[in-house]
Amino acid sequence: MAKICIVLATYNGAQYLSQMLDSLMAQTRPADMIIAVDDGSKDSSPKILESYKDKLPLTVEIHEVNQGHRAAFSRTLELARTQLGPDDLIALADQDDIWLPNKLEILEKELSGSSLVFGDAEIIDGQGNVTAESWRVQGNIDINTTIRHQIAGINHVTGCLSLFRASLLDTVLPIPEGVTVHDRWIAMIAEKNGGIKAIPPKVIQYRIHGGNAVGGQGDTTMTKTIEIQNKWISTILDHKDLLKLSPEEVSFAERLLTLTQERLVAFVLPGQFCWVFKNRKYLFLRASFLKTFKRVLFTLVGLPMAKKIWRKE
């Protein structure tokens, strides 16, 4: 029987961490091992983790210095790789969610025929109140997302809702520095190595409380957003062979990188209109035609114009 390993990265998560660990204890299909890396927390997160070592099959590694979300999860997966075989399974965990009791049982049964399976979630607030019945509906998440969507930064696989095969780790690791969120990288690799399966059941209560490491956060500056996108697309192109991108997918990434690079320096980009409009279904979340058309037009606005007209930074 395949082993299931849960990997967890914590950082100043003491407020909700015990609730999350309690939900791991309540799983109808218990994990065979849990690997947690604390990424330089200044609160009691390390002590809470240590206090659960007698209750769960938990290994804890404490870092004195914060290295960031991507690096912390990359480390948990490196540790998992040393203890798992290719037929074993990995579940990603966030420090502030609550897992529904049958999460691992459902995902393990549904994984057959694919490399990664992911479910839906209820959304809860800091007090545990349900604020939305479906993360998928609330986030306007299309389960038919393609590699081109992923290249454009539209990810449909939320890590804490997923279970994937440990055989992917040899390709996933090391997670490149240009990867903005680890689950996006894992999803792209899974898509090209066995496929991804979306299932309807809710498997966790996904907590949005304003302090999440990822998810549910406010908009960053326009400059930062474009710079992050440039770095992400450049990383994809640097690893195009590893990601098994088709020539058409590479061409799409190259054209999108040119567009985002030009947006940093050009006032407007009218010459890009036809390409952006043609590829609008990959570049933007699903929306009405009018809303999508407005997004197309704004994509043709460069940072210098946005700063001058709308005082965007």
Size (the chain), residues = 313
The tens digit of pLDDT for each residue in 232-270 reads 999 999 999 999 999 999 999 999 999 999 999 999 999
- Whether the CB-CB separation of 276 and 237 falls below 8 Å is answered with no
Q: Indicate yes or no: pTM above 0.75.
A: yes
CB atoms under 10 Å from CB of 281, counted, come to 13
Token code pair at residue 152: 């454009």
27 and 103 Cβ atoms separated by less than 8 Å: yes
Structure confidence by residue, pLDDT tens digits, 293-307: 999 999 999 999 988
pLDDT tens, the chain, 313 aa long? 899 999 999 999 999 999 999 999 999 999 999 999 999 999 999 999 999 999 999 999 999 999 998 999 999 999 999 999 999 999 999 999 999 999 999 999 999 999 999 999 999 999 999 999 999 999 999 998 999 999 999 999 999 999 999 999 999 999 999 998 899 999 999 999 999 999 999 999 999 986 655 555 455 799 999 999 999 999 999 999 999 999 999 999 999 999 999 999 999 999 999 999 999 999 999 899 999 999 999 999 999 998 888 877 7
Type of residue numbered 264: L
- Beta partners for 241? none
Bridge-based pairing state of the strands 162-165 and 89-93 = antiparallel
| Sequence-separated (6 or more) residues with CB below 8 Å from residue 39 | 9, 10, 11, 63, 66, 67, 68, 69, 71, 72
Could you give the CA distance from residue 298 to residue 306 in angstroms, rounded to a whole number? Answer: 9
Q: Answer whether the bond into residue 174 is a cis peptide, omega within 30°.
A: yes
Give the residue among 88, 66, 228 at the shortest CA–CA distance from 77: 88
